[in-house]
Chain A
């Protein structure tokens, strides 16, 4: 199953990694420029006094990447109802769907880990622990939103009926708004475990679409 998912998404995953890393790198370039022009002390000051995180351009990038990944992975399954082929394989339907989702989740998490490694690699050299960890904690809800966008995208695309799909899109927008309620750095810090659980719960949504597909809803 992973081989099939790899064939569908390999080029996009490379693009996703380059895009998110590019945005992360651009954020670091902004920090570097401020430090080079005004001194690193000024960079520390604006972070503390004006809540600047330097990587704010990255905010919606994981969401867009998650949605596009869902499109790349599940549109080919719904094209001419190819999903029937997948569901006819001699494995349980739950396992087949979970393996497909696991591929997407693993790819999204791997991309986030690479981004974090890039951010940490530079920031830990020039910023105090408290400052770089503040930036990384601030970015975590954005990456969770990317994961949520992927799972909600899968739920929407796998839904067999167009009318229901529109309802799903509205619900998905409302669900995603939760990840962007506040732009204040560290605003989600105490809420992150709940936000993570909330994101994991979205894994089950695709099963609703698959069950409806199996019932022949159109």
Chain B
């Protein structure tokens, strides 16, 4: 499968603060990849680098085989960009903004896709964008992307500021569009439940590095939460790279791991943990995210 996005050895600092070092990832064609990470782990930095609005300290990013820094402007026809906060030109109204963008995408612009979504908003055609709620603006931004009909969609925190209804509308429309047309999507969001409904693959980032990149199904099939009874007063005193974020709350040891129950049991025994009654639970994406990145 061809990679639509390929980032190699990305390193970036803000001043002396390292955001990440030697980051590598690829987004295969026709897949929806979600980038998850706590605040400050570099999600928006990555989107900004991918959009060409931030020059990384080192490393390269290619989209459709072209380096982002020297990309042919015509290639941007194939890339739909949603900026954090669903930013759009405030001084335009619904009709004006459609007319403006349509002139840049002759032959590919699908006016009806935009107006179909606008009809759901029940706003006047001359409604100014500046007078819209964040939810309404998100639909304008999405409608413009659907009308542009790009091969790649880059969406920065698409759920920010949206109430559950608009979030659901956004996700459903987007999922239907990308699945029907085999589009590639690279997105970030703070709302992990939305990601779970949408993404095929996910990258989970921690400060300075990628913790895991794999298909969502594989992640949820292989990562588990393990709980076990430990004696009163026991505190975690071991470190094992395959047992993530072990903690004890009221005599219950909790940890996350890609290992099987037998392997976890063997590792705990090897680490001298006085445990009993080991349980293994499946996870949703939010639990998996917390399991890998920790609660703090």
Give the most central of B54, B77, B89, B90: most A CB within 10 Å: B89
Pair B105/A90 contact, Cβ less than 8 Å: yes
Q: Which residue of B lies closest to A4 (CB)?
A: B100
Within 8 A of A (CB), among B52-105: 52-55, 73-77, 79, 81, 83, 85, 87-92, 96, 99-100, 103-105
- Is B261 close to A, CB under 8 A? no
A87 to chain B, nearest CB (A): 7
Q: DSSP class of A's interface residues: helix, strand, loop or mixed?
A: helix
Q: DSSP class of B's interface residues: helix, strand, loop or mixed?
A: loop
B interface residues, tally (CB under 8 Å): 27
- Is A33 close to B, CB under 8 A? no
A91 to chain B, nearest CB (A): 6
Within 8 A of B (CB), among A189-218: 213-216
Residues of A within 8 A of B99 (CB): 3
> Could you say which of A4, A92, A216 contacts B55, with CB atoms under 8 Å apart?
A216
Interface CB pairs A-B, < 8 A, 17: A4-B89, A7-B91, A7-B100, A76-B89, A82-B88, A85-B81, A85-B83, A85-B89, A87-B52, A87-B53, A88-B51, A90-B73, A90-B74, A90-B104, A91-B104, A92-B73, A216-B48
Within 8 A of B (CB), among A36-93: 76, 79-82, 84-85, 87-93
Interface residues, chain B, with chain A CB atoms under 8 Å away: 48, 51-55, 73-77, 79, 81, 83, 85, 87-92, 96, 99-100, 103-105
- Is A8 close to B, CB under 8 A? yes
Residues of B within 8 A of A87 (CB): 52-53
Residues of A within 8 A of B89 (CB): 4, 76, 82, 85
A92 to chain B, nearest CB (A): 5
Residues of A within 8 A of B51 (CB): 84, 88
> Could you say which of B54, B75, B81, B92 contacts A215, with CB atoms under 8 Å apart?
B54
Give complex CA distance A36, B76 in Å: 65
Q: Which residue of A lies closest to B86 (CB)?
A: A80
Residues of B within 8 A of A216 (CB): 48, 53-55
Pair B83/A81 contact, Cβ less than 8 Å: yes
